[in-house]
């Protein structure tokens, strides 16, 4: 995944992660938590059709949006770039996806919609406006994303057909079922196979979004900060090939990961060991 995308109108390849959105049962509580964790500041927009829409800023650059949940669940949602949201949604439909949130325009962001894939996960499509900006690869911003699913082959096929990703499988003596998706030689995303013995009856396929940690602070300290802000630890900090990682839930229940890429370990795990549900 790249670094700061701060040039309005910057051309994006289809399938590039280009936005993240927190759907939460308590917008005020979520804003307070992430402000305390990363120093995010907020701009609030009220749209007659889309309702309350909060844009999170890190050092003045947009990094995420926050919206109220309509189904009582809190979750982070990943959006992938497209030049034509209607055409890509139609192609996704032919591959077995279904639209679950119809197209809408968000000022200064673009046209977006949300689909459910044949691998049972939810993802968004974004057709960015000329004024679109999105910070990634820095502290307090998106660094990496993994799709955790029981339908690994279905996911590889669907996303590969839709965006042209190629998949490279990784495994270790103690872990298999980790694939990285590439566009040409650039890594975009990863797919993790759910381990059946770790799954509860309520387990759902989901995207795990990794948010960056300032190396001067470190993952362990940010975990302590999260707990003090009423977050919950899902997976204690561990060393991985991505960096020093921990998996948390925010106070409204949304799952996410922290990562300090400066601590990437050649010998660490490739993916997270989150047992999927409490």
**Residue extents of the structural domains in the chain:** 17-128, 142-263
What pLDDT, on a 0 to 100 scale, did the predictor assign at position 106? 87
- Alpha-carbon gap, residue 17 to 196, rounded angstroms: 28
- Alpha-carbon gap, residue 20 to 134, rounded angstroms: 9
End-to-end CA distance of the chain: 30
Query: Can you give the pTM of this predicted structure?
Result: 0.92
In the predicted model, is pLDDT for residue 8 greater than 60? no
- Alpha-carbon gap, residue 241 to 270, rounded angstroms: 6
- The string of pLDDT tens digits covering residues 224-258 is 999 999 999 999 999 999 999 999 999 999 999 99
One DSSP character per residue, 161-184 reads HHH--EEEEE--SS---EEEEEET
In a 3-state reduction of DSSP, which class is residue 90? helix
- Alpha-carbon gap, residue 206 to 19, rounded angstroms: 16
pLDDT-derived band at 194 (thresholds 50, 70, 90) equals: confident
Q: Which residues of 24-43 are buried (b: 16+ CB within 10 A; e: fewer)?
A: bbbbebbbebbeebbebeee
Q: 262 CB contacts (<8 Å, ≥6 apart)? A: 215, 243
One DSSP character per residue, 100-146 reads EEEEEEETTTEEEEEEE-TTS-EEEEEEE-TT--B-BSSBTSEEEEE
What pLDDT, on a 0 to 100 scale, did the predictor assign at position 276? 53
What pLDDT, on a 0 to 100 scale, did the predictor assign at position 202? 63
What pLDDT, on a 0 to 100 scale, did the predictor assign at position 200? 58
Q: What tokens were used for 276?
A: 């999927």
Architecture field, domain 142-263:
Roll (3.10)
CATH of segment(s) 17-128: 3.10.180.10
What pLDDT, on a 0 to 100 scale, did the predictor assign at position 170? 78
Tell me the Ramachandran region of residue 140: left when phi exceeds 0, alpha when psi lies from -120 to 50, beta otherwise.
left
- Alpha-carbon gap, residue 186 to 88, rounded angstroms: 21
Mean local confidence (pLDDT), 144-156: 94
What pLDDT, on a 0 to 100 scale, did the predictor assign at position 56? 97
What pLDDT, on a 0 to 100 scale, did the predictor assign at position 196? 65
> Please, are residues 146 and 16 in contact by the beta-carbon 8 Å criterion?
no
What pLDDT, on a 0 to 100 scale, did the predictor assign at position 6? 45
What pLDDT, on a 0 to 100 scale, did the predictor assign at position 204? 83
Question: What is the 8-class DSSP label of residue 271?
Answer: S
Same fold, 17-128 and 142-263: yes
Mean local confidence (pLDDT), 14-32: 97
Q: 94 CB contacts (<8 Å, ≥6 apart)? A: none
- Alpha-carbon gap, residue 60 to 109, rounded angstroms: 15
What pLDDT, on a 0 to 100 scale, did the predictor assign at position 19? 97
- Return the minimum-mean-pLDDT range out of 86-95, 103-112, 191-200: 191-200
What pLDDT, on a 0 to 100 scale, did the predictor assign at position 275? 52
Mean local confidence (pLDDT), 205-213: 96
> Please, are residues 248 and 226 in contact by the beta-carbon 8 Å criterion?
yes
What pLDDT, on a 0 to 100 scale, did the predictor assign at position 1? 55
- The string of pLDDT tens digits covering residues 26-82 is 999 999 999 999 999 999 987 766 667 899 999 999 999 999 998 999 999 999 999
Q: Of residues 6 and 116, which shows the higher confidence score?
A: 116
- Alpha-carbon gap, residue 177 to 200, rounded angstroms: 19
In the predicted model, is pLDDT for residue 175 greater than 70? no
Question: What is the 8-class DSSP label of residue 91?
Answer: H
- Alpha-carbon gap, residue 259 to 86, rounded angstroms: 34
**How far does Cα 6 stand from its chain's mean position?**
19
């Amino acid at each position: 995944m790249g670094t700061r995308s701060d040039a309005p109108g910057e051309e994006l390849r289809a399938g590039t992660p280009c936005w993240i959105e927190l759907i939460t049962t308590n917008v005020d509580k979520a804003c307070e938590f992430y402000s305390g964790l990363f120093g995010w500041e907020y701009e609030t927009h009220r749209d007659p059709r889309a309702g309350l829409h909060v844009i999170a800023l890190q050092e003045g650059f947009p990094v995420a949006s926050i919206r109220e949940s309509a189904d009582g669940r809190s979750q982070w949602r990943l959006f992938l770039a497209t030049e034509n949201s209607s055409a890509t949604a139609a192609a996704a439909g032919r591959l077995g996806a279904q639209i679950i949130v119809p197209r809408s325009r968000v000022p200064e962001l673009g046209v977006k919609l949300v689909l459910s894939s044949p691998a049972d996960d939810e993802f968004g499509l974004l057709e960015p406006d000329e004024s679109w900006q999105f910070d990634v690869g820095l502290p307090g911003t998106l660094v990496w994303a993994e799709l955790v699913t029981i339908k690994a082959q279905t996911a590889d096929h669907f996303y590969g057909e839709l965006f042209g990703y190629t998949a490279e499988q990784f495994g270790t003596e103690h872990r298999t079922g980790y694939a990285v998706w590439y566009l040409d030689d650039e890594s975009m995303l990863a797919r993790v196979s759910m381990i059946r013995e770790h799954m509860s009856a309520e387990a759902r396929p989901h995207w795990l979004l990794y948010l960056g940690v300032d190396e001067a602070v470190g993952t362990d300290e940010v975990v302590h900060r999260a707990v003090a802000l009423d977050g919950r630890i899902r997976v204690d900090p561990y060393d991985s090939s991505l960096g020093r990682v921990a998996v948390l839930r925010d106070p409204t229940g949304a799952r996410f990961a922290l990562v300090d890429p400066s601590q990437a370990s050649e010998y660490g795990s490739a993916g997270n060991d989150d047992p999927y549900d409490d």
